[in-house]
Amino acid sequence: MAIKALVFDCGGVLLRNGDLSPYRRWEERLGLETGQLEHHLWAGDLWRQAERGTIGDAEFWRRAAQELGLGEETAAVLRADIWKTWEVDARVLALIDRARDRYRVAMLTNTTDAMEELLAERYSVADRFEVIVNSARVGVAKPDAAIYEELLRRLRLDAGDVLFIDDRAENVAAAASLGMHVAWFLGAAELERQLEPYLNPGAAWAAETHEE
């Protein structure tokens, strides 16, 4: 079955860690050890509620800050500082732009209800995607099969029509179990190598012919 759509994860694939010094400054201010702030924000039940839409982005940051002994005004500063650590991976974005010449392109992401606005306003990449399926909007997160099924419903495609890219092994495995083609993201250079047969099929055919 021919691939009709490429679906990209957001955090960890298109948006990558850049300057992490804001984490270190906040940890110093709060008396935390290195890495504790990341764990506090992203590894607990509070984040699981936010990425499933049980609480909104603003409430997530309010509660996270409160648990750290910070007030609401300071919570807004913390949020702004942490979001600044995410940067668009230019090489991944270039692959997305190449993919749009041949395929439908979508995003499937576990995140809060603020992501669509951030993709449009802060990162200026929302227009690259025909469909953005955000876990906080649908109430279920990867690797639950239901969110992949929602993606397919919105695209009006079968699983075999889709190539899914994610940096987390469990999310890739879940997509594959449903019949999607998958690429496990290990870096932009490796992703480019994996996608080259799809983005430049003529070159791939020529290389195979030459080898024969």
Model confidence pLDDT, tens digit, residues 115-161: 999 999 999 999 999 999 999 999 999 999 999 999 999 999 999 99
Question: pTM (2 decimals)?
Answer: 0.92
Model confidence pLDDT, tens digit, residues 178-210: 999 999 999 999 999 999 999 987 654 433 433
Query: Where do the structural domains in the chain lie, given as residue ranges?
Result: 5-16+88-211, 19-83
* 98 contacts: CB under 8 Å, gap ≥ 6: 199
| Cβ contact 90:16 at 8 Å | no
Q: Which residue has the tokens 């992949």?
A: 148
Q: Which residue has the tokens 């695209």?
A: 155
Domain 5-16+88-211 annotated CATH 3.40.50.1000: yes
Which of these, 203, 196, 202, lies nearest to 98 by C-alpha position?
196
